Structure 1
Amino acid sequence: MARKTVSGPVRNKERTKEKLLKSVGKIISTKGFHSLKITNIARTASVDKKLIYNYFGSVENLINQYLRNLDFGSSMNSSEYKEEGLKDNGKTLSKNLLKEMYSAVSANPELQKIIVWELYEYNDILRELCDHRERLGDEMFQKFMHPYFEENHKKYRAILALLISSTYYLNIHADSNGSKFCGLDIHDKDDREVMACVIDDVIDFAYEKYGLK
């Protein structure tokens, strides 16, 4: 007769890890990044701080795991995106990634705060997150886009850089003071749809202008 697997401790461990990860987000939202101390995280999660070391090794690893879970770029190596990239040299993939990123930043105040944190302060954990994001993005670019653009690949990279950075700025600007930008209300559904259409247009232009003839 097969022995039953005792799953209680495993479930408890996973629940505790999830509580700790959520506590990191709660502290970022309510108290700011400088309050991400081990005592504050443990108190917010209502667990012994020793469990942070037991389950994550260090508070830095815990924060890093939270950031990677939240960071949109860290999902770029999914099989779904890889399959999509094969269809048309990454054109549809580029459009969908940018529009999904636009929605993700808009919907998540914690992600916005992390982006701002990246801008105004050097931090080893954030640098590692940025480097991780860059590696994933470059792997995707090298596989799907670079062969199509060849000597013009940096021009397409520049277009992506402009679109991604504007995605960050427009959403953070809209949520920080609620004002319009160039006459567009980023919170308005119709204006957001216009932005999505323009993203498609810019990508189409780049593939036509700089891609293989």
Structure 2
Amino acid sequence: MARNKEETKARILAAVGSVLARSGFQKVGVNAIAKEAGVDKVLIYRYFENLASLLGAYGCSSDFWLTLDEVVDREMLADEKIPFADKMTSMLLRFLHGLQKRPVTQEIMRWELLEQNELTDELYKVREDLGKSLLDILQSQEAIAEEVDLPAISAVLGAGLVFLLLKSKTNNCFLGVDLQSPEGWQRIESAVTYIVQATLQKIETEK
């Protein structure tokens, strides 16, 4: 019985992703999700209480968003010999790779650029929580000078990666960089590495 319950919940959560990716937030609802999952909507209310709670559960699932362990290399983090810049670069690139593996999440994020409501807020909160956790980890690794706005630096780089990834669905290239080839993405990864290294090297020099 418990197994059937978990299987049904998994089907419902998968249906949330499918409906959101296909139709956006305006058309997502209990009826549409129940139909997609092939279950009675009563089960949705029984297992998740309401639509907002269901969206929150979907947002917390690894199918939608990255886990902390997916972004953070614990062994690398524990090695004090590895420079801080390398650890930050690793997190950014692992974040990119995790998002590249989630095409449904990419579609949902495209819809979020067009819509804003309590449902989008549920998923946004999940992403913000992960981002803050990653920042806390980075800031615990090394004493950062007050003039270094690590959250803003991380926001610019993270948002840039997200934008280019979402843009790759509708455009082949951006400023001459091929967004649909491994070579193009290798250039982007190299650029992230260079920016982080150069920025933090400058900070170290000015200390």
Q: TM-score range by the shorter chain?
A: 0.7 to 0.9
* 1:89–1:144 Cα contact (<8 Å) kept: no
Pairwise CA distance, 1:143: 4.0
CA distance 1:118–1:29, change in 2 (3 Å): closer
Q: Report whether the alignment pairs 1:92 with 2:86.
A: yes
- What is the aligned partner in structure 1 of residue 12 from structure 2? 20
CA distance 1:112–1:152, change in 2 (3 Å): same
Q: Distance between the aligned counterparts of 2:78 and 2:48, measured in 1? A: 36
| CA radius of gyration, larger in | 1
CA distance 1:142–1:18, change in 2 (3 Å): closer
Pairwise CA distance, 1:48: 1.3
Q: Distance between the aligned counterparts of 2:92 and 2:143, measured in 1? A: 19
TM-score w.r.t. structure 1 length? Answer: 0.81
- SS of 1:36 mapped into structure 2: coil
- What is the aligned partner in structure 1 of residue 194 from structure 2? 201
Unaligned runs of 5+ in 2: none
Pairwise CA distance, 1:45: 0.9
- The counterpart of 2:134, out of the listed 123, 136, 140, is 140
Same amino acid, percent of matched pairs:
25
Q: Deviations over 1:121-179 (max 9, x none)?
A: 2222332433343343334323433643221331x332221211111111111112x32
CA distance 1:107–1:175, change in 2 (3 Å): farther
- SS of 2:156 mapped into structure 1: helix
Q: Distance between the aligned counterparts of 2:143 and 2:200, measured in 1? A: 9
Moved more, 76-85 or 158-167: 76-85
Matched pairs, number: 202
Q: Report whether the alignment pairs 1:125 with 2:119.
A: yes
Unaligned runs of 5+ in 1: 1-8
Q: Deviations over 1:30-83 (max 9, x none)?
A: 3332221111111111111111122112222112211222444x5226795455
* 1:174–1:180 Cα contact (<8 Å) kept: yes
Q: What is the alpha-carbon root mean square deviation over aligned residues? A: 2.6
Q: Tell me which stretches of 4 or more aligned residues in structure 1 moved more than 6 Å.
A: none
Q: Distance between the aligned counterparts of 1:77 and 1:134, measured in 2? A: 16
- What is the aligned partner in structure 2 of residue 102 from structure 1? 96
> What is the one-letter code of the residue matched to 2:44?
I
Moved more, 139-148 or 179-188: 139-148
